[in-house]
């Protein structure tokens, strides 16, 4: 069974989805790929996992670095999971590029090259906004590109972290 809870962030209302394993989704209301991992049948309920996520988000939006990670349940393809696990390694206040992530995957998969576009698609489908920090991925030219929650939110998140 999946459960949903709501969080009012400074950047808009968010929905938090959890199951018996952990947080499986956090989306800004009506963002691209909204509720992508949410099943048709769910129940509105504040779970311990949702409370962990809300606490983490409260600390984050206060401008501090959370010193814990809520229990996550990432749901995706093996490639998406590999990309999202790389996102989790991007430190607060830092950014990386789609190309850098591609190069990391080239090494992991022992390939000659990896499409930055494929990486971008996986980054864009990240179902756990902010906690899995896809907002920290920028274009090779330093431009803000592709954030399912909107580029204005991406800019505000990076500004909060003093990354731009």
Query: Tens digits of per-residue pLDDT, 50-60?
Result: 999 999 999 99
pLDDT tens for each residue of 69-80? 999 999 999 999
What distance in Å separates the CA atoms of residue 159 and residue 148, rounded to the nearest whole number? 17
Q: For residue 54, what pLDDT is reported? A: 98
Q: For residue 4, what pLDDT is reported? A: 96
pLDDT tens for each residue of 87-120? 999 999 999 999 999 999 999 999 998 888 899 9
Residue with tokens 């968010």: 14
In the chain, % of residues over pLDDT 90? 80
Strand ranges of the sheet holding 42-44, from the earlier edge strand across to the other edge: 23-28, 12-18, 2-9, 42-44
Predicted TM-score (pTM) of the model is 0.93
Question: Is the pLDDT confidence value at 164 over 80?
Answer: no
**134 included as an active-site residue:** yes
Q: Is 97 helix (H, G, I), strand (E, B) or coil?
A: strand
What lies within 8 Å, CB to CB, of 102 at 6+ separation is 113, 114, 115, 116, 118, 119
Q: For residue 17, what pLDDT is reported? A: 96
Q: For residue 5, what pLDDT is reported? A: 97
Q: For residue 122, what pLDDT is reported? A: 96
The one catalytic residue among 134, 138, 148, 157: 134
Q: For residue 30, what pLDDT is reported? A: 87
pLDDT tens for each residue of 27-45? 999 888 888 888 888 888 9
């Amino acid at each position: 069974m999946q459960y949903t809870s709501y969080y009012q962030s400074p950047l808009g209302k968010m929905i938090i989805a959890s199951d018996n394993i952990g947080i499986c989704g956090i989306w800004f209301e009506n963002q691209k790929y909204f509720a992508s991992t949410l099943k048709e049948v769910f129940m509105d309920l504040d779970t311990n996992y949702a409370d962990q996520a809300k606490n983490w988000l409260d600390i984050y939006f206060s401008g501090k670095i959370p010193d814990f990670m809520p229990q996550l349940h990432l749901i995706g393809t093996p490639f998406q999971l590999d990309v999202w696990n790389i996102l989790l390694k991007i430190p607060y206040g830092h950014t990386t590029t789609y190309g850098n992530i591609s190069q990391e995957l080239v090494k992991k998969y022992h390939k000659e090259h990896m499409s930055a576009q494929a990486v971008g698609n996986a980054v864009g489908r990240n179902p756990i906004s902010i906690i899995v920090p896809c907002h920290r991925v920028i274009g090779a030219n330093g431009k803000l590109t592709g954030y399912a929650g909107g580029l204005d939110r991406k800019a505000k998140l990076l500004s909060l972290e003093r990354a731009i």
